[in-house]
Structure 1
């Protein structure tokens, strides 16, 4: 059997926006080191590896060019998109992914692909001089969850003009920084490429919904495994 490789833009339906990812649909297990070497060679923010376990249940692992990570929203969306688009799983059936963060359930809904994640609720923190130095605009509120800071600024213009201090961030005990502002429309990912997503909360779950588009698919040389 062939091993297929797909290039996908998640949270987007065009060529130049959204979060890019590769999805590799495996036919048999491969070593972690090989996955890492493939992700490094492909050199996108995320390469997602899929391996069927049983009907509608797949193992899913995510690799950056430098390391394996425990959770990736856009890599999950891209993987589910491929399974439905290729007709491997019928659109009316949800998908369960087994991951290093536990089981993730994904469904196809009217607005696109809906991901269900356990809510990692943030707690308010003081806006210290160090926190303020992370961004070049005034901060209204700051919070922290298990692995990142969350900062709110006044409006969309402040957000779009923001320049993060990544050198300072690298010295702090978190893995990331999320900056947000009020919007009159929806949750827009205001990155260089941009992206569209919808977020809903219910009990202890956070639902993230977005669309994806396949840029191309190809065969991967299995001799490299």
Structure 2
């Protein structure tokens, strides 16, 4: 059996930047073990599987190790493939997911905007005591938590200089760790994201993390429209907005690879 596969760099306007995701359109669902094996073989942060439903598309995301509840960059990559290559001209796509509800992506020119749930983090009185040392940086100014730890630093330089111990981070009591700080040069905030326990040591650009970052920085800065940058080695830019209990996450994407899988 041959399956089409596309590799897209998301949250960037050029190849070799942003976050690469694989997109695999399906005519019917394969067994979960096969979906996971393909994602492991791809060895990208996420592989997205998309299936046309009756009224919307069904969408699932897998890291090399696990299925995840929400993924931004692979949703953006999927919308790019559908509206650019498979159904050119579409400016709205609805995706039914298994844990995050229905997600909508709209397109205006080369900008894709994700409509995702807001996931505010709360201050945590007793974070995992191994957290600060595992990140390999100075003491943070604040630690909050939701699905992930949100670790706040004083400035961008501290976030860029983090030298995390991935083995130690993988043992923490949360899904992942997001480090953030105020940005500069027209950028409201920066971040890095680490999820070694999920098969992703450092994610280049993490849309789902901005479900937590956006409400935090919107409240702290007193504004609902923000510009963000993930300062990983590849880097990526995101146009962000808080809209009640939803967040809007905008970015561009570019095709890197088109081919087929033989299974």
SS in 2 for 1:100: coil
Q: Which residue of 2 is the match for residue 210 of structure 1?
A: 251
Q: Is the 8 A contact 1:50 1:58 kept in 2?
A: yes
Quick one: distance in 2 between partners of 1:219 and 1:111? Answer: 25
SS in 1 for 2:134: coil
In the alignment, is residue 148 of structure 1 matched against residue 148 of structure 2?
A: yes
CA separation of 1:206 and 1:81: change in aligned 2, threshold 3 A: same
Q: Is the 8 A contact 1:127 1:142 kept in 2?
A: no
Unaligned stretches of 5+ residues in structure 2: 188-227
Quick one: distance in 1 between partners of 2:134 and 2:150? Answer: 11
Quick one: distance in 1 between partners of 2:165 and 2:76? Answer: 29
Larger Rg: 1
Quick one: distance in 2 between partners of 1:130 and 1:3? Answer: 43
Quick one: distance in 2 between partners of 1:5 and 1:68? Answer: 18
SS in 2 for 1:51: strand
Greater Cα offset, 201-210 or 36-45: 36-45
Quick one: distance in 2 between partners of 1:137 and 1:111? Answer: 39
Quick one: distance in 2 between partners of 1:133 and 1:189? Answer: 21
SS in 2 for 1:86: helix
Matched ranges for 1:75-224 at <5 A: 75-88=74-87, 90-92=89-91, 94-101=92-99, 102-109=101-108, 112-126=111-125, 130-135=130-135, 136-145=137-146, 147-184=147-184, 185-186=186-187, 187-221=228-262, 224=263
Q: Which residue of 1 is the match for residue 54 of structure 2?
A: 54
Offset at residue 127 of structure 1 (A):
7.8
Matched ranges for 1:28-43 at <5 A: 28-43=28-43
Quick one: distance in 2 between partners of 1:108 and 1:68? Answer: 26
**TM-score, structure 1 length as denominator?**
0.89
Aligned residues: CA RMSD: 2.0
**TM-score, structure 2 length as denominator?**
0.77
SS in 2 for 1:133: helix
Unaligned stretches of 5+ residues in structure 1: none
Q: Is the 8 A contact 1:106 1:115 kept in 2?
A: yes
In the alignment, is residue 69 of structure 1 matched against residue 110 of structure 2?
A: no
Offset at residue 45 of structure 1 (A):
1.4
Greater Cα offset, 76-85 or 26-35: 26-35
